[in-house]
Every structure is written in C-alpha cells, then in structure tokens.
Amino acid sequence: MEITLSKKTIGSLVLFLWLVFSIVYIASDIWNNYKKIQLTAAYNQGKTDTINALIKEADKCQPVSIFGEEKDIQLMNLNCPAN
C-alpha cells in the first residue's frame, strides 16, 4: 500500500505545523513575561515590607539590630528624644 501526498496536502501539513509551533512559541513567550512581571512584583513587595518593618521597629525608640552576611549593626531613630 503506497501513500501518495499531493502538494496541497504537504502544504497544508506544513502550514498546520507552522501554526502549532507559532502558537506554542507565543504562549511560551507570554508565560515567561508573566512570570517575570510576577517575580518583579514579589521582589518589590518584599522590599516594601522590609522597609515598613524596619520603620515600625525604629519608631519604638530602641536600637534595631540589622544583620548582614558578615556585618552586624545597630540602627537608631534620630527623631527619638535623647535619654
């Protein structure tokens, strides 16, 4: 049994495969862009939350300990009355 494919059938198959590939590629691009936007938003929200927590602690007029990889410092709110 021999299968014969006409130029029209081959052209339709190529067009269909190109369409499927294009849809997958565009969907992947949209998904990657969405992930990038969400990660950026989460990062910015984390910065905001950290700064707000630091301000809240500094408003208590007590030294606030800040720890880094190799450093440890104390921050103090300069607007607090001197003891």
Q: How far apart are CA 7 and CA 5, in angstroms?
A: 7
The amino acid occupying position 47 is K
The answer to the question of residue 71 being in a domain is: yes
Paired tokens of 80:
């607090």
Q: Tally the domains of the chain.
A: 1
Q: Is residue 2 part of a domain?
A: no
Asked whether residue 36 is assigned to any structural domain, the reply reads no
pLDDT for res 32: 98
**Paired sense of beta strands 64-67 and 72-75, if any:** antiparallel
| pLDDT tens column, 33-64 | 999 999 999 999 999 999 999 999 999 999 89
Please tell me the number of Cα atoms within 13 Å of 75 on its side-chain side: 15
In a domain, 12, yes or no: no
Residue 53 covered by a domain? yes
pLDDT attached to residue 72: 92
Side chain identity, residue 8: K
67 lies in some domain? yes
**What is the residue-averaged pLDDT of the chain?**
92
pLDDT of 79 reads: 87
The gap from C-alpha 59 to its chain's centroid, in whole angstroms, comes to: 31
Structural domain range at position 72: 49-83
